[in-house]
Amino acid sequence: MTDSGRGVPAGWVAERWLVSGRVQRVGFRYHVYRAASRLGLRGDVRNLANGSVEVRVVGPYERVAALRTEVATGPPGSRVTEVVATDLEGGLVLDDFSIR
């Protein structure tokens, strides 16, 4: 069963987050990867040329919310100033979480 025709199971969400602040060269992608893997989420994380980080995540709502809290906090040395979330159209077909 899928949710709203987005290709994700009922009770799951598919989101794209753009994370701004001091989020590159501080282990941010690895922080997100470890947390997402621990939570059993699917998706990926990558640095963008403008200095921000993009996170695409799919999973049960509660687990995605827990990851968002970890993303907003970041690892030591980081400083997250903004997390802009949008729906990830069409979901994301991945078996695990990766760093791109």
Distance set, CA 40 to CA 21, 22, 26, 34, 37 (Å): 26, 26, 23, 10, 5
Q: What is the CATH number of the domain that holds 69?
A: 3.30.70.100
3 within domain boundaries: no
Q: Tell me, yes or no, whether 67 lies in a domain.
A: yes
The angle formed by the CA atoms of residues 59, 45 and 6, to the nearest 5 degrees, is: 35
Total domain count, the chain:
1
Q: Which two tokens mark 88?
A: 């990830």
pLDDT digits (tens, 9 = 90+) for 15-26: 999 999 999 999
- Domain-located, residue 7: no
Structural domain span for residue 22:
12-89
Does 72 map to a domain?
A: yes
Q: Is the pLDDT of residue 88 over 90?
A: no
Residue 28 covered by a domain: yes
The answer to whether position 34 is within a domain reads yes
Establish if 32 belongs to a structural domain.
Answer: yes
Handedness of CA 17, 68, 52, 24 (dihedral sign): negative
In-domain check, residue 19 = yes
**Catalytically annotated residues:** 29, 47
Q: What is the pLDDT of residues 50-61, one digit of tens each?
A: 999 999 999 999
